[in-house]
Amino acid sequence: MWQIYTLTCLIIAVNGCDIPPRMWCDSLETAKQCQVVEQCAKSVWKVNEVSPEPVKLTLYMESLCPDCKNFIKEQLFPVWAQLSNIIDLELVPYGNAMERKKGDMWEFDCQHGKEECIGNLIETCAIHISNNVTRWFPFIHCIEIAEDLPKASAIRCAQMYKIDYSAVQKCMASDKGNLLEHQMALKTNALSPPHKYVPWVTLNGVHTESMEKEAESNLLKLVCDTYKGPTPKACSQLEDLESLSRCYRD
Ligand SMILES: *[C@@H]1O[C@H](CO)[C@@H](O)[C@H](O)[C@H]1NC(C)=O
């Protein structure tokens, strides 16, 4: 009885599938009719595939701070170069600066003087203009590892990384550029807890002292540990390295 029932259903199902294969997965109904629900779910609807969120990494910094330069050079840039597809990077060049409103414009006082304010503004404008981390981060890295002042290195770095420097300069001299830098101030001042130093890192919006220490000493591991998605190659290599650096007993 049961066998006959199953067989009948199967025949009805197969007969019921007079839909061209390309339309089988158009709806749950069509997929049911053609008995391909599981296949559609897996390969077309991708129901089991949660797309993992990238790690949101924000660096609060200022252009001439030696520790920021060092952090970008030793940790952030090399790690981003390996893991850019799982890092959603944001840079906030303002740091320990202060601002006040004068007329319609904002005036900035930077910890390392006027040249630092210029550097912050160059970086802020470049981020805004290129609007593509793959372009602006190598440019900013180039400025931050340079020995000379941002206003000089930026020209060289812009050529190297195809940043439209005349657009950057235009931005720097405009109300828009002034407002963009003010937004960096607002972002920095909105930190909770407030920053005590720079570089100041947040991961997915969170800052703790221990996390900051790890960011400054082993950012690769920190990002790998924070990421919930499938292990990227650079992270699995890290695990190999860790096991190699231990002396196991026999
Ligand atoms: C960002 O810039 C890179 C490097 O120039 C380029 O390959 C990529 O297509 C750009 N991405 C977008 C979304 O424009």
Are residues 43 and 74 located together in one domain of the fold? no
How many domains does the chain divide into?
Answer: 2
Owning domain of residue 8: 2-48
How far is 106 from 102, CA to CA, in rounded Å? 6
Are residues 223 and 111 located together in one domain of the fold? yes
Q: Closest residue (by CA) to atom 10 of ligand 1?
A: 132
How far is 131 from 126, CA to CA, in rounded Å? 8
In whole numbers, what is the pLDDT of the chain averaged over residues?
91
Q: Closest residue (by CA) to atom 8 of ligand 1?
A: 134
For residue 196 the two structure tokens come to: 């005590």
pLDDT exceeds cutoff 50 at 100: yes
Task: Please give the backbone phi and psi of residue 183, each rounded to the nearest 5 degrees, phi first.
Answer: -65, -35
How far is 98 from 188, CA to CA, in rounded Å? 10
How far is 47 from 36, CA to CA, in rounded Å? 14
- pLDDT score for 166: 98
Q: How confident is the model at residue 12 (pLDDT cuts 50, 70, 90)?
A: very low
pLDDT tens digits for 49-85? 666 899 999 999 999 999 999 999 999 999 999 999 9
Q: Kindly state if the Cβ of 166 falls inside 6 Å of ligand 1.
A: no
Of 48, 63, 83, which marks where a domain is finished?
48
Q: How far away, in angstroms, is 60 Cα from ligand 1 center?
A: 24
Q: Kindly state if the Cβ of 135 falls inside 6 Å of ligand 1.
A: yes
- pLDDT score for 1: 52
Are residues 84 and 193 located together in one domain of the fold? yes
Are residues 60 and 38 located together in one domain of the fold? no
**How far lies 31's CA from each of 25, 37, 40, in Å?**
5, 5, 7
The answer to whether the CB of 154 falls within 8 A of the CB of 121 is no
How far is 182 from 187, CA to CA, in rounded Å? 9
Are residues 84 and 170 located together in one domain of the fold? yes
Q: How far away, in angstroms, is 3 Cα from ligand 1 center?
A: 59
CATH number at residue 218: 3.40.30.10
Are residues 79 and 177 located together in one domain of the fold? yes
How far is 185 from 96, CA to CA, in rounded Å? 9
- What is the rounded average pLDDT of the residues 130-143? 97
Residue 162 gets the label, from left (phi > 0), alpha (psi -120 to 50) or beta, of left
The answer to whether the CB of 214 falls within 8 A of the CB of 228 is no
For residue 46 the two structure tokens come to: 């991708």
Q: How far away, in angstroms, is 81 Cα from ligand 1 center?
A: 14
Are residues 28 and 108 located together in one domain of the fold? no
Are residues 39 and 66 located together in one domain of the fold? no
The answer to whether the CB of 137 falls within 8 A of the CB of 80 is yes
Are residues 106 and 219 located together in one domain of the fold? yes
For residue 93 the two structure tokens come to: 């060049």
Task: Please give the backbone phi and psi of residue 132, each rounded to the nearest 5 degrees, phi first.
Answer: -155, 110
Are residues 70 and 130 located together in one domain of the fold? yes
CA proximity to 199, closest of 221, 214, 177: 214
Are residues 126 and 198 located together in one domain of the fold? yes
Are residues 196 and 173 located together in one domain of the fold? yes
